[in-house]
């Protein structure tokens, strides 16, 4: 039980980091030209994102809220099925990161009506993003590496209702 509580404390901590960074961006960057950290390469530049990545689906906040809640339910169902051995710690970390990213941006959508973005790689004209987006991106890269190079197919049998030997895998 302590491990389950610990993961939610980590998630809350990650969300706080994201939200504090956005409060800083609102107070320090909104209404300014931004801050050139590395001129013509990387800037801190305030943006109100009312859509998804690359500016798609602008002003569809209810859609994003519903998708986030549905994803959270599915991810929590998966998390609760992850076995306890240490080799599954990377999956637990992935869960914490993706939940923190999803809820960090959800908080913005619900309370502001937009997501605060402020990291901008000007050199490659990459879309402006935030700490929550970093959590989600790192999670996706980590999961790809884990699935392709670390876990074997039978290591992921816990995702099925019944495992390899027909046993119920629920905890």
Put the strands of the sheet holding 35-38 in their side by side order: 35-38, 42-49, 115-121
CB 105 within 8 A of CB 132: yes
Catalytic annotation on 157?
Answer: no
Residue 150 to residue 143: CA distance in whole angstroms: 10
Measured between alpha carbons, how far apart are the two ends of the chain, in Å?
Answer: 12
Catalytic residue from among 18, 59, 125, 133? 133
Residue 37 to residue 62: CA distance in whole angstroms: 35
Residue 11 to residue 15: CA distance in whole angstroms: 6
Catalytic annotation on 168?
Answer: no
The β-bridge partners of 162 are 168
Catalytic residue from among 18, 59, 108, 117? 117
Question: Which residues are designated catalytic?
Answer: 117, 133
């Amino acid at each position: 039980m302590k491990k389950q509580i610990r993961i939610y404390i980590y998630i809350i901590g990650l969300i706080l980091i994201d939200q504090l960074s956005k409060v800083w961006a609102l107070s320090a960057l909104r209404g300014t030209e931004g801050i050139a950290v590395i001129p013509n390469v990387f800037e801190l530049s305030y943006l109100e994102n009312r859509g998804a990545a690359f500016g798609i689906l602008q002003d569809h906040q209810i859609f994003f809220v519903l998708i986030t809640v549905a994803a959270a339910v599915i991810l929590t169902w998966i998390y609760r099925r992850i076995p306890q051995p240490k080799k599954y710690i990377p999956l637990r970390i992935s869960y914490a990161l993706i939940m923190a990213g999803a809820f960090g941006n959800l908080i913005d959508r619900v309370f502001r009506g937009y997501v605060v973005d402020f990291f901008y790689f000007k050199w490659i004209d990459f879309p402006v993003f935030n700490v929550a987006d970093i959590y989600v991106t790192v999670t996706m890269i980590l999961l790809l590496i884990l699935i392709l190079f670390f876990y074997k197919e039978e290591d992921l049998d816990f995702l099925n209702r019944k495992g390899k030997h027909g046993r119920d895998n629920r905890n």
